[in-house]
Amino acid sequence: MHKATEFKLDFQRQFDNESDESLSEDIDNPHIKETYHPQDVMVEDQHPTFTWTIENFSNINQKIFSNIFEDFDLKWRLIMFPRGLEEKGSIMSLYLEIVSCNLFKPEWFVNADVVLLVVNQIEQELSQKREAKVSFNSSRRDWGYQKFIHLDNLAAFLHNDSLKINVIVQVLESHVEKIDPSERQKEIIYVGLKNQGATCYLNSLLQALFHLGSLRRLVYMMSTFTDWDQSRNSIAKSLQKIFFQLQFKGKSVSTKKLTESFGWNAQDVITQHDVQELNRLLCDALENQTKGTPVEGEIEKIFRGKQINSINCINIKHESSKTEAYYDLSLNVKGCNDVYDSFNLYTETEVLKGDNQYFAEANGFQDAEKGCAFDSFPPVLVLQLKRFEYDHTRGENLKIHAKYTFPPVLDLGKYLRRSHSIPSIYHIHSVLVHSGTVFQGHYYAYIRPNLSNEWLKYDDEKVTRATTREAIDQNYGGPDSKRFTSAYLLVYIRETERYSILAPVLESEIPSYLKEEIEKEKEKKSKMKEEHALQKLYMSLRITVENDLKEHQQYFDLVDTKKVSEFQVLRKSCLAEFKDIAESAFKIPKHKQRYWLFEKRSNGTIRPWRLLSKTQEDSNLDVIVKQDLGLFLEEVLDENTNSVGDLLLFLKYYDPLDPSIRYVGHIIMNLNLPMDALLTWIRKKMGFNNDVDIDIKEEKRTQLKAIELNKSFYQNGITTGAILIFQTINTHDYSRYPTIKKFFEYITHQTVVDFRTLNEPQKSVVKISLMKSARFETIVDNLGAHLNHDPKKIRLTTHDLQRNLPSPHPLNKPEPQNCVLNPIRRNKSKRKNELQLKEFISKSLTDPKILYYELLDVPLSEASGTSKTFSIIWLNYQAIQTKVVELVTRVDAPLCDLLEILSTKTNCPPDRIRLMGVQDCIITKIFDPRSVVSDLLIGSLKLYAESVSPEESNPKHQCLRVHHLLGGRHVGHPFVFTLIKGEKVVELRQRLQVKLGLSLAETKCLKIRLTSSRAERVLEQTILSDFVTKESRLVLLHPQAPPQKKVLKINQSTA
């Protein structure tokens, strides 16, 4: 049995907007039954028990809710995740929630003893029970267990696939006051921002920035396009719009335009990112917008501070210092009790010695002291609390839940390097809170707009009042409270600039063009809304007439209803009213109009199937026409009288001399008449003599069904909408396809192949109609005739549907495996000219039929046996950068010929190219330029090539093969590196830094090992050349890096 783990999950975002009415949808859930009674199966201390019976448990795949039950004048409900919070989990999660607590005043709380129990309906004493003392409040409105019971163990609790859950709630202490409706209206002083899926972190940051009046004023002053359409992707313009709407709009504001200006897609807005990272990127984007304008540098004045990082050598006189700007500070939470502890740690002096010595240029590695001091703090100080860290021992990210306090007033004067005339006293303005775990969570913000005692809570669209205790004290975190809610980002404002930073922005300060553009957009939206409402009154009605059947280009079926005439008609109008429109459009008098409903049959064909009655013609169109297939408008002829049992039939004529099939008309026949009654109409329609014999077949999609003329339509299974194809019975031996059957076999087995060149794979050269059974020889013969090229000198390549590009290998060998896209399931002894076209192309009707060709100088048989395409990975001077070079050469050619070709593609002299064979990221062979190309085919080696360094020409130097090792396995691209005689490891490390393009810090993290030597572990002062043997290899051990998160990006070009 898995031990249940208490887990707090914040459902605030999901359920804030759910009223009791919306919850009623769950009451009709067929899976659940509830009973509420004072005494039931399990009763503890005689407290009332609520029982939730879930029927058909095995069919439930997503979270479900119980009905709402009342206890102690509070409304409660259970929430069950059958497979836990993970998409394909195996442990059931169970939670208890207080419903409609958004109607309570912010300071509400409920302390209760809660018992959750999954009942064993056979042996009740084996029931699974969890109990705890729980404190519910505005920050914790639900409680439960992420891992309540494993699904493998749940079978013992199911009875007839039903699960019974009991809950007992004993309220110990509570303070709950409901908000008066009039007071509740007063709560909405400001407006919220809409959540696009997982943009709560963005919403919290935007609200904090909006309340900085100086920043908002600066955003309004930024130069932007005056044409709204041109600037729809501008970050500055989108931010202006959001700030304006937050200031003047009476309801929640959308951030969709802003995220579009970031260049984000649908996946980005449902992926939660780091709010501090977003703040930095947003400030950078806005700074770019101000360049070259009167407000350039103004953002820096608000957020930018300076710190001085210095390193002083202990044993020698050497000092290095660097001044760096910052827009926010990341403070350690782990090991610190409060903000002051974090600043002490931030400015603490670190001694660099041993393996961590400082590289003092010409003086080499030295013991040193490294420290940081602040040169200045900005007016608005943003502090990120490092609640998340990567645990190297566990190999995963963790959230630090330790208690960490932050004061309302912060004095940072002692951390300045020199005294300033401006006191560094800061007042807290905003607290951005993260609630949840590393894997999932929710952001919201507490903000003091005027630095008074009045706090506001911004939770996406919802804005409410909050207390100082809720904003500060309840966001310290701490394991004792078993809560996953804690402050993540703090915004402080310097006391001396509080009035200038928070000064309200007057409407007169907002550019007039911005107000005009927003007003225009408002009018545009209003107009679109009206048009949308108007569109709901109309519907599209497709009308098919006889002429559409005649113009149908396909051999099969009757018509493509998407290509016929389409009308916009009122949904509540009737056909009787539409007949005037039809008469004008099709020149068919109203009294000769008759309408049939289309039907999409199970085999995919579309046919008219039911005649509309006079009563139906007077009904509303949206009631009659419920599919987008529309109606067939029949022009009534004298002989086409309608009676009970009549069939609407469509006739096509096959001409073996053409050969072709064409539509000739429709007729209405009684289903009890014999089929030969149709012959009279056909002879008259076609002008045939009475002695002409006629054969009739029914078209069934792409098949033909034989007809017995001496039987009735009913006996032949003919129904309304049937297509009958007829031909004269003569001796058509001179015709290639003398019968309908032969012609159908031809058109169902032919396909049009799109031939393209390998150099221009997106451009069609020629399209040729071929039989699917065509052999390889037939294909190239037809293509050669079109291209006026010898078919024996044509090589074909199949189409890769996944990449929408040519397949990697051409059809240049007899073995069928060369057809990569469509593996040819034939005996391997089959020759290529015995393979059929259908084995080279996709069998799907919707997929493109594409083949690529090459025009060769020699016959394919010779080229296939003597030439091969090689893919070579070229390493430039920095061995971390590569490119793939593909070239073709004869396998019996000397290797120097291949190097000559490679030289033209890399601009490197052939005598300076090293060609290597690599397996599992290890160099196993360096090829001799005097060998032959066929040597490259031995073994399954990857081919690498690099430029030989000038140092290698020195006979005193030795070359070592270098491999990368990460986490116990070889990775990356190996290379050859020159070892200079007498050189120490510390000097070799400097050359490796240049070779690999690494930073100094990254280079220092590399551990260097020498294999197959007398000294596998090397020190910085070791001279490697003293220990190297012929078998030695240099191994670079890279530190295990934490898992990379999705990179957050903002499109700077649209700032």
**626: left (phi > 0), else alpha (psi -120 to 50), else beta?**
alpha
CA 659 to chain CA centroid, Å, is 51
Omega before 659 within 30 of 0, i.e. cis: yes
Q: To 5 degrees, how large is the angle CA 287–CA 291–CA 296?
A: 75
Q: Are 508 and 295 in contact (CB under 8 A)?
A: no
By the 10 Å C-beta count (0-12 exposed, 13-18 middle, 19+ buried), 410 is classed as: buried
Q: Are 821 and 761 in contact (CB under 8 A)?
A: no
Choose the catalytic residue: 211, 273, 429, 442. 442
C-alpha atoms less than 13 angstroms from C-alpha of 884 in its C-beta half-sphere: 5
Residue 611 has which token pair? Answer: 């005649």
H or E stretch at 261: helix 256-261
DSSP 553-566: -SSSSS--GGGSEE
Instruction: Return d(Cα 561, Cα 630) in angstroms, integer.
Output: 8
Q: Are 885 and 874 in contact (CB under 8 A)?
A: yes
By the 10 Å C-beta count (0-12 exposed, 13-18 middle, 19+ buried), 798 is classed as: buried
Length of the chain: 1055
Q: Give me the residue label for tokens 């009735």.
A: 712
Instruction: Return d(Cα 228, Cα 518) in angstroms, integer.
Output: 9
Instruction: Write the CA distances from 994 to 256, 674, 879, 972, 987, integer angstroms.
Output: 44, 93, 10, 17, 11
Instruction: Return d(Cα 560, Cα 566) in angstroms, integer.
Output: 13
Instruction: Return d(Cα 294, Cα 310) in angstroms, integer.
Output: 35
Q: 948-979: string of b/e by CB count within 10 Å (b at 16+)?
A: bbeeeeeeeebebbbbbbeeeeeebbbbbbbb
Find, among 99, 93, 112, the residue nearest to 165 by Cα: 93
612 CB neighbour count, 10 Å cutoff: 17
Active site residue 200: yes
Strands 593-600 and 723-728, sheet pairing: unpaired
DSSP 867-927: EEEEEEEEE-SSTT-EEEEEEEEETTSBHHHHHHHHHHHHT--GGGEEEEEEETTEEEEE-
Find, among 264, 276, 57, the residue nearest to 160 by Cα: 57
Q: Are 194 and 254 in contact (CB under 8 A)?
A: yes
Instruction: Return d(Cα 740, Cα 717) in angstroms, integer.
Output: 20
Instruction: Return d(Cα 1046, Cα 353) in angstroms, integer.
Output: 36
Residue 294 has which token pair? Answer: 């009167």
Find, among 526, 522, 518, the residue nearest to 228 by Cα: 518
Residue 728 has which token pair? Answer: 């004269």
DSSP at 179: P
To the nearest 10 degrees (0 to 180), the angle between helices 200-210 and 235-248 is 70
Amino acid at 107: E
Beta-bridged to residue 308, according to DSSP, are 323, 373
Find, among 976, 12, 746, 1005, the residue nearest to 444 by Cα: 12
Instruction: Give me the active site residues, please.
Output: 200, 442
